[in-house]
Amino acid sequence: MLARPPSHSPALGPGCAGPPLAEASSVSIQYPAQPTAQVPTCGAASFLVDHNAVNAPGRDPSQHTQMPYVTGSSVLALTFKDGVMLASDTLGSYGSTKRYKSFERIRKVNDRTVLGASGELSDFQYIMNLLDELTTDDFCEDDGGMLSPREIWSYLCRVLYNRRNKQDPLWNSLVIGGIEHGKPFLGTVGMIGTHYTDDHIATGFGNMLARPLFREKHSPDMSEADAEALIHEALKVCYYRDKQSINKFQLAKITEAGVSVSEPFALPTRWDYKHFENPSANAVGTW
């Protein structure tokens, strides 16, 4: 039996599957690519993909993703006295269509780290597969060790920057939160590898709608209840103003006690505000 191809190729860099060396290995020569059976999950009949036909002369060359298709909007995160809190809605938008309304964009990585993502949801699933490989390696070592939030953040910086350099970026903005040495850690990585850490972070429209609230009301020593109230307020503002959002959210908390991710919930909203009655009244040039 052949080993599963790794997603961390020394030749191609982190986040890229391939051989351990740039040259063809003895395994790839001895076992060339063969047509493989593909079994659709919908129950349809299986079919074969002939790699030689795919790469035949005269065919269009393989192309990378030019734009995201199914996307998620803002992820909000902030630190508080005892840990870190992340929140997002559960919407996956197909263009402007609210297509998938129960997609969890906040995932637990290990007992100290949570990852949230905006952008292309299939790329987010790919990133989670990479992290699952690393988490499985930690489990197989059986020495009690696990990757820290900062290590995961640094690794994802390299993955996204490496894919950007190959002109095949992962179309995501990631938020990594966790506890390291008893202190909260919060960092973000963009699709081209830009990264930083802060006491509060927002992606997507939340960067313009929620962070002004965070700058005004957040403090690193605030209580968990105050942090949750602030993040609920920011979620409502994003829901009011971002058409690619729905009133169905998840909230993750990371403390020394561990990681908890809530079930989806809705927030109370009001639509009788005076400015909502005629939103174009103060906007010159609108209908």
Q: Give CA–CA dist 41/33, Å, rounded.
A: 23
SS3 of residue 244 by DSSP: coil
For residue 21, give Cα distances in angstroms to 12, 27, 30, 130, 199. 8, 12, 16, 20, 41
Q: Give CA–CA dist 98/91, Å, rounded.
A: 7
pLDDT of residue 2: 42
DSSP 8-state symbol, 265 = B
Q: Which secondary structure element, helix H or strand E, spans residue 277, and what is its range?
A: helix 274-277
SS (H, E, C) 81-150: CCEEEEEEECCEEECCEEEECCCCCEEEEECCEEEEEEEEHHHHHHHHHHHHHHHHHHHHHCCCCCCCHH
pLDDT averages per 10-residue partition of the chain, 287 residues: 55 63 54 63 64 61 75 94 94 92 93 94 93 89 88 94 90 95 94 93 93 93 94 94 92 93 92 78 69
Strand partners, 100: 92
Distance of CA 281 to the CA centre of its chain: 38
190: tokens are 């963009």
pLDDT of residue 1: 38
Residues acting as catalytic residues: 65
pLDDT of residue 216: 94
Structural domains of the chain ordered from first start: 70-261 (3.60.20.10)
Give me the DSSP letters along 48-73.
EE-HHHHT-TTSPPP---SS-SEEE-
Q: Give CA–CA dist 205/265, Å, rounded.
A: 21
Q: How many helices (H) and strands (E) does the chain have?
A: 8, 17
